[in-house]
Amino acid sequence: MQTTHKKSEARIAIDPGFAWDGQDAYLFDIDGTLLRSRDRVHFESVANGVRRVTGFEVTLAGIALHGNTDTAILREACIRAGISADVLEPQIAAILDAMCASVEERRRELDPILMPGVQEALRHLSNRGALLGVATGNLEMIGWIKIEAAGLREWFQFGGFSDHFPVRSEMVGHAARKARALAGERATVCVVGDTPRDIEAARANSLAVIAVATGNFDFDALYEFRPDVCATSLADLIAATGTAQ
């Protein structure tokens, strides 16, 4: 990769020949990529959902959340709490519904903050005719509620969610198929995310990937996984490539 340094805190690495803003469709992760939640509404929905349906108490302590999926997190929390599969699995759908209901009921408590350059990047890609979607470990209802709370709903035409995909690569593959159903079967699809799992899920589906260090992983940690683009933020990527609107 060729690396451009705009200033000491901004780092950009782009594979030669890769047009970061020239792809047909983009799949944006939500948490850490588009926004950060300054509340605990989504976080607490897992325990709330399990409690409502089963009466059991679970905790997310010790579970790797970043780049994970709601469905996988739920299962791991239940396993750690000693809830057996024969008790859990028949109630999974009801628990997921209860998680969504918990977030909907607390919608007014949501307090998202946009990551740097998000609005500018979405506007720029949209102006270039790109199809924009989300590919997130969130459940569908929760994902859209968070997108709406952040004022971003207008940009996205479709999404891939974890309701039926505990494995992130499978969710991303499903989202890519949706993108090509809308943009054409030969459409180039690019994942935009903030974790190594986003990069791995993109590669598992032979997709390009832009990694931004706006979540819990810094530039160097993401760069080790060799995304097509690695940037400290979307704002830095736009500034470094002269694409500010």
Q: How far is CA 35 from the centre of its chain?
A: 9
Residue where the block lists tokens 């990937």: 209
Q: pLDDT, tens digit, for every residue of 14-48?
A: 999 999 999 999 999 999 999 999 999 999 999 99
Could you tell me the two tokens for 42? Answer: 């989504």
Return the number of other C-beta atoms located less than 10 Å from residue 165's C-beta. Answer: 21
- How much of the chain, in percent, has pLDDT values that exceed 70? 96
- Per-residue model confidence (pLDDT) at position 4: 41
Cα separation, 89 vs 229, in Å, equals 39
Of the listed ranges 24-28, 86-90, 93-97, 241-245, the least confidently predicted one is: 241-245
Contact 123, 83 (CB under 8 A): no
Contact 134, 155 (CB under 8 A): no
The CATH number given to 2-37+112-240 is 3.40.50.1000
What are the residue ranges spanned by the domains of the chain? 2-37+112-240, 41-109
What pTM does this model have?
0.94
How many Cα atoms sit within 13 Å of 233 on the Cβ side? 17
